[in-house]
Structure formats: C-alpha cells, structure tokens
Amino acid sequence: MLITNLKLKNWRNFSTVDVPLGPRVYLIGANAAGKSNLLDVFRFLRTVAQSEGGGLQKAMKERGGIKKLRSLHARTDTEVRIEVEIAESMDEESERWRYMLAFKPEGKGKQRLLVTEESVWRGNTPILQRPEPADRKDTARLTQTFLEQINNNSAFRELGEFFAGTTYLHLVPQLLKHSDEISGRVIENDPFGQGLLQRIAATSKKIQDARLRRIKGALDNSVPMFSELNFKKDEMSGAPHLEARFKHWREHGAWQREDQFSDGTLRLIGLLWALQDGDGTLLLEEPELSLNEAIVEHIPLMLDRVLRDRKKAVRQVLVSTHSEKLVAAIGDPSNVLILEPGENGTKVRPPKADELKAMKYGMNPAEVLLPKTRPKNVEQMGLFA
Amino acid sequence: MSRVLVVGEDALCCALGERLVAATLPGWSLARESVNTRGITRLVPRLPDFILQARHVQPVICIADSDRGCPVELIGDWMMAGGDERFVLRLAVKEAESWLLSDPESFASFLKVPLAKLPRRPDEEPDPKRVVLNLAARSKSRDIRAEVVSPTDSSKQGSGYNVHLCRYVKATWRVNEARTRSPSLNRAVSRVALLGAAT
C-alpha cells in the first residue's frame, strides 16, 4: 500500500497542505522549513494506529500536547486535521481508501483532546463516520480513535496495520558505536538506529544472509577496500556484532567490528537494512549525512534498485534532504516536494509547469528546485556589515 | 515578459552575468536563480544541456574565464556541439576579475585603495586576479584585507573572496562604465544585446 495524497490543516508549521504523493517522495526545504514536521504526520498516524501502547492520546503526549503540535497560524480555527488517501498501487484502477482524522481541545474543563471527525471511505463507500450518536452521548468516547481500537476497526483494519508499519530512520552512528559507554535508552521504534544489531540478530538466518549479501553488493561498489561483511555473536557475551573485512596490505586483510566502522559505512549499512526490513512507508531523514558525495548521488538509484528486487508489493519511501548531489540525481523531478516558508506557515508544492519544462530540457532538479529553498541573502551570511 | 537564464563557472561569473542582463536587456527578467557550475571542468560537459535549454525554454547566457587560451578558439571548440542563437557563451579575457578592474573608480572605492593603483588596461593584465589580491591586501578596510586575501598566503584568495566581490558586482559595478575599458566586456555586451534585438 502507499499514500497517494496528503491533506493537512494546522499541522505544526503548515496551515494547509494538499499534495499528491508517489512511491518516492523527496522533500526539500530550508532549515526549519518543516521537512521533519511533515514526516512526523506519518509517525503520528503510526502511533495512533498501534493497538498496543499507541493511540491518539499517546501520540499527542509524545509531542507535548496539542498546543505544541498545532500551527501557530491557527488563530481562530483551532482544529487539527489530517486526511490521507491510500491505494494498493499507483494504478488508476486501484481502489482508493480515505482516512480522515480531526481533533481539537475540548474548550472547557479538563481540556481533553477530542476527536471532532473521524471517517473512513473505501472507494465511494463510507465505512465510518464519527461522531456517531453514541459519541455525542458519551464524549469520553471521543478521546480515542476507532483506528486504535480492535473492536471498532474491523472494517478498515488493514489501514491501521499499514499506518503502524511505518518506519522512521535517522541513523546516528555514534549511538550505535558507543552504546556500551552511554548505555543509551532506545527510544520506541528506534528512530536513531541504536537497535540495528538486535534487529539483524532477530531476523532468521536465511533472510539475514540474503539481506547482508545485498548490502555487501552495494558496499562493494561504494566503500573502497571493502571485501566482506559478516554478522556474528560474540562468543563470550553473546552480543551481536557486524564484522567487515577490508583489503589491506596484509594478505588476509583485517577484520573490524562496527565500533571501528566509519560513520558513513554504518549509516549506509543501516539505510540498506532498513530498505529491506518491513513493508510499510519508510521515512528517511537526510540519508546523505556522513556519506561521500559520490555515494550520495547514487542514493536515488540505490533506493529504486533495492526496492525493485523485492518480491512484495510497492514500498513507499519519503526522503528529506539538503543534498545537491542527491537532488540532482533524482530521475523523475515530479517526485520532489518543495517546502516554502511564508507568512502563513510553510507551503508544500510539487514542481510547477515551467520548472518541469526547464528540467525536461537539460537542467537538473538541484539547479531548478533547490534555489527555491535557499534562505534569501544567504551570500550575506558571515558578513556583519 | 522575456526571460533569460544565467550560467557561470563560479559565483562571480554568475553575478557578472546578472548585471549584464540588467544593463543590456531592459525589461527582461531572470528565469530562475543563476546556475553556478563550480568550476570550468563541470561547466564544459554541461554545454549541450544549456544549449538544449536555450533552444526549448529560454535564452541562456553563460559566463566563464578564458585563462586557458584565446577566447575565440575556446568558444569555437566548445560550441562544436552545435550552438543556438539563443545561447550566448562569453569569456572574460583571462579572468572575470579583469571586468571588475575595468570600472576603476567604483572598484577603488569599494576596495578602499587609491585609484592610481588600478591598472589602465585591465584586459592586457596577464593575471588580473593577482592584481585584485594585491590591491585588496593594501585595503584600508580590515574586513577586505583579512577576508579577500588568504591570511597565510597573500597570493591566494581568502574565505570571503567570492562573498565580497559578488557583493561589489551586485551593488556597485557599472557595466556601461566598464565596457569602455574592456574590449572583451564590450563584445559581451553587444552579443547579449542581440538577444534583445532578436525577440
């Protein structure tokens, strides 16, 4: 499944958003334009949809309450609304689902967060329309979505499972390398990749081997001197480790463990693993970090290649990026979404017709689209006069 | 309204191209932010792309330095790919800096150096960039001295070289003044003006 359209109202720094989405989405925007905030919609829906330890109230609490989540531009209308269209594939014929969730604070008393609308459509058939009469009688029911309740979501459970299957990855190599010293708490769903080794360990041997083989194939071409990649359990402690061998002046090369890998190698391994792990929407935050430019320009191809080889259905990937090399290498510029901050919040838009024309005839997306995201007068930065 | 795209081999060339448009094509606007290819070696392989752009989207003005040979030969070599009348490739003689030196009054006051120190025939200077660095090193302004010239090697540019010189080109450089002293700039102005006449 994939999300084919996203509509938002008052979500963080967006007053309104209405954009089509394809199987690959590249988000570009200046610092603080809201790339991560846009990705956060899908993490929010994931938490809402998790029937174990999830739900609307949990998702809101994780974000510090509605006041922090709602757009500062929402002055009179305080409702936050999320609407997504979902399809099995991009095929026009494929049936479209729609899930709509709106909520706002109660406006009195305990200021509970209440659902103001929750609806589900399958094609042209309404499956759910809340508030129902029972909700009006007992407003406590409105503190929860039906999406999070197994008793109430049987007619659209596949949607809930789809939302819950979303993966967010912003791998921080230092957290993985120094996990012993910092004895870091792993955040739920492990966005920073600390639990990568445990996840690899929890995979069956056969699948593990197949995935590592694919990762090795990609590393062969991008990390010089690299020759072998193994996954092993430490004989003494049982702790899982990645080991790589690098060609070396010594005949048999030298084995290194993950804490000796470069940040770039680790990020690349984490990225390639995440691509193969799971089916849900994959959110990648700045995958270019610590990678050599020559590798970065192959990220779009790497995503397409690894995901094409899967036997399963299409997997949607949303990537936030600042990298000129990465954006320049995007094959289909209509996959780019541009975030433009303005007085009434950030606007999100696909490329315009004249921009698409310029890219059709010789210009690359980095040349045409990235300048739109540059802060004005950036040349004056560093000049105080 | 007519639009044009500027391409340059560095930020300075882009700024010069933009000023050329403003001075020579009244009423025209820039199609989009200028494309800085960051180096001549990355500009040359893209020439067919820019010619395609000129043919199908809007005229393109491409500005580069000619420090590697005679401009006429270079233009000929590069345009073998088959040019387009809406594609203008202009090379500053030696380096783009010679065009800056061609407006000596405003450049001297920007650099805060005496006017008499500036060369009379900038296009004939063998190394105009060196001239700019030597001038900047004698500036009365500490920012210019310290940022335009490398603090460790006075023959190299400092970290603020492009920022300061682009600021100058955008704010004070006078195309019509400079073209009277630089034949290569004068030819560039005439060629760009032809774009305006053609449409």
Helix (H) or strand (E) holding A80: strand A80-87
Q: Which residues pair with B35 in a beta bridge?
A: B7
Q: Is the pLDDT of residue A193 over 80?
A: no
Q: Are B157 and B136 in contact (CB under 8 A)?
A: no
Q: What is the percentage of chain B residues whose pLDDT exceeds 70?
A: 91
For residue B55, the chain A residues in CB contact (below 8 A) are: 361
This prediction's pTM: 0.87
pLDDT beyond 50 at A224: yes
Give the residue from B86, B75, B79, B106 showing the smallest Cα distance to B28.
B86
Task: Evaluate whether A96 touches A105 at the Cβ level (below 8 Å).
Answer: no
Higher pLDDT residue, A200 or B63? Answer: B63
Q: What is the DSSP letter of A64?
A: T
Name the pLDDT band for B160 (thresholds 50, 70, 90).
Answer: very high
Q: Is the pLDDT of residue A379 over 70?
A: no
**What angle do the packed helices A263-276 and A205-222 form, to 10 degrees?**
130
Q: Is the pLDDT of residue A311 over 90?
A: no
What pLDDT is recorded for position A383?
44
Six-digit token string for A350 = 């696909």
Q: What is the pLDDT of residue B74?
A: 63
Mean pLDDT of chain A: 86
3-state secondary structure of A213: helix
pLDDT of residue A263 exceeding 50, the answer is yes
Give the whole-angstrom CA distance, residue A177 versus residue B141: 48
Check if B105 contacts A (Cβ < 8 Å).
Answer: no
**B27/B15 Cα distance (integer angstroms):** 18
Q: How many residues does chain B have?
A: 199
A278-300 per-position pLDDT tens digit? 888 999 999 998 888 878 888 88
What is the average per-residue pLDDT within A159-170?
91
Best B53, B56, B161, B168 residue to mutate vs chain A (most A CBs within 10 Å): B53
Q: Which residues of A touch B32 (CB under 8 A)?
A: 355, 358, 368, 371
Q: Please check the confidence at residue B151 and state whether its pLDDT lies above 70.
A: yes
When the pLDDT of each residue in chain B is averaged and rounded to a whole number, the result is 89
Beta-carbon separation of A363 and B55 below 8 A: no
Task: Give, to the nearest 10 degrees, the angle between helix A263-276 and helix A299-308.
Answer: 30
The Cα A47–Cα A56 span in angstroms is: 7
Backbone angle region of A264, left / alpha / beta, with phi > 0 → left and psi within -120 to 50 → alpha: alpha
Q: Beta A80-87 vs A96-105: how paired, if at all?
A: antiparallel
Query: Is the Cβ pair B56, A368 closer than 8 Å?
Result: no
> Which pair of structure tokens corresponds to residue A242?
């990645």
Residue A247 contacts by C-beta under 8 Å, 6 or more apart in sequence?
A: A225, A226, A227, A253
Scanning every residue of chain B, which has its alpha carbon at the shortest distance from the alpha carbon of A384?
Answer: B143
- Does the CB of B69 have a partner CB in chain A at under 8 Å? no
pLDDT of residue A219: 75
Min distance A267 CA to chain B CA atoms (Å):
28
Whether complex ipTM tops 0.90? no
Q: How confident is the model at residue B78 (pLDDT cuts 50, 70, 90)?
A: low
Radius of gyration of chain A measured on its C-alpha atoms:
23
Distance from CA of A350 to the nearest CA of B (A): 17
Beta strands A336-340 and A317-321: pairing type? unpaired
Which pLDDT score is estimated for A368?
94
Could you tell me which of A233, A245, A238 has the C-alpha nearest to residue A205?
Answer: A233
* Yes or no, beta carbons of B57 and A368 under 8 Å apart: no
pLDDT digits (tens, 9 = 90+) for A239-248: 788 888 777 6
Which among A367, A380, A385 is the nearest to B143, CB-wise? A385
What is the average per-residue pLDDT within A328-337?
93
Which ranges of A138-243 does DSSP label H, i.e. alpha helix? 157-164, 173-177, 179-182, 196-201, 205-222
Round to whole Å and give the CA distance between A259 and A246: 14
Tens digits of per-residue pLDDT, B54-72? 999 999 999 988 765 655 6
- Residue in the block written with tokens 């639009």: B3
Most confident of A161-175, A183-197, A350-364: A350-364
- For B137, phi then psi, to 5°, come to -65, -20
Which pLDDT band holds residue A107 (cuts at 50, 70, 90)? confident
Average pLDDT over residues A146-163: 94
The partner residue sitting opposite A371, judged by closest CB among B33, B51, B55, is B33
pLDDT of residue A376: 65
Are A363 and B56 a contacting pair at CB < 8 A?
A: no
Average pLDDT over residues A316-330: 94
pLDDT exceeds cutoff 90 at B100: yes
Whether the bond between B119 and the residue before it is cis, its omega within 30 degrees of 0, is no
Residue linked to tokens 């589900």: A120
More confident residue, A252 or A88: A88
pLDDT at B77: 67
Tell me the pLDDT tens digit for each residue of A37-66.
999 999 999 999 987 889 999 999 999 988
- Whether A362 sits inside 8 A of B50 (CB atoms) is yes
d(CA B160, CA B180): 29
* Angle ∠(B41,B156,A378) on CA atoms, nearest 5: 70
Average of pLDDT values for A99-104? 96
Taking residues A223-235, report their average pLDDT: 77
Tell me how close the Cα of B120 comes to any Cα of chain A, in angstroms: 30
CB A71 within 8 A of CB A12: yes
| Separation CA A267–CA A115 (nearest Å) | 39
User: What is the structure's pLDDT at A248?
Assistant: 65
